[in-house]
Amino acid sequence: MQSLAKLQTQMNAMLGPLLLIDFAQLMLMTCALAILPFKYLNYVELNVATGLAFFGNFICFLLRLVTLIICMGKVYPTGLAVNSAVARALVSAKDSSECQSVVAYLTAYATNPICFTAWDFFPITRGTLLAALSAITTYGVLLLQID
C-alpha cells in the first residue's frame, strides 16, 4: 500500500504541473479565439480565410479542452474503484487474521484515491475543471462587455 501511495505522489509530481499548464493554455487560447474576433471586428477586415482560421483554431482548442476535462474527470472515480478493489483484495487474503483484514480495509479506504491533485490541496475532478472553465469564460465575457 505504501508503494502505491509513493507511486501516486511521484505521478502527481511529474504530471500535475504539466496538466495544469496544458489546461491553462487551452483555456487561454479558447477564450482568446472566441472573444478576439468580436472585440476587433471593426478594426480588422475579416475574409473567409481569416474567419476559417479563427473558427478552425477555436474548434480545435475547444475539442482538446473538452477531451482533457472528460479524461481528467474519469481519473478520480477510477481511483476510488482501485481503492475499493485493493481493500477487497486485502480483506480476502487467505493468510490474514480478522484484525489484519479490518486494518487493511480501513487503511485502503482512509488513503486518498489515485487521482491528480492540486499540490495535495484537493483532488482534480470533472467538477473542478468545469468550475474553472465557467469562471474564466464568465470573466472573459464580462471583460468583453465592459469595453
Give residue-wise pLDDT tens across range 36-45. Answer: 777 777 777 7
**pTM, two decimal places:** 0.67
50 contacts 90 by C-beta, under 8 angstroms: no
Average pLDDT over residues 101-121: 66
| Residue 44 pLDDT | 73
The ranges assigned to domains in the chain are: 2-146
Which residue intervals of the chain are DSSP H helices?
Answer: 2-39, 48-91, 98-110, 126-146
CA 45 to chain centre: 37
Write out the three cell numbers for 95. 493468510
C-alpha 134/C-alpha 81 separation (Å) is 28
Statement: residue 81 has pLDDT above 70: yes
C-alpha 130/C-alpha 119 separation (Å) is 19
In sequence order, the β-bridge partners of residue 123 are 117
Please give the torsion angle defined by the CA atoms of residues 58, 22, 146 and 43, in that order, rounded to the nearest 10 degrees: -40
Read off the pLDDT band of 5 (50, 70, 90): low
Write out the three cell numbers for 51. 474567419
| Residue 22 pLDDT | 85
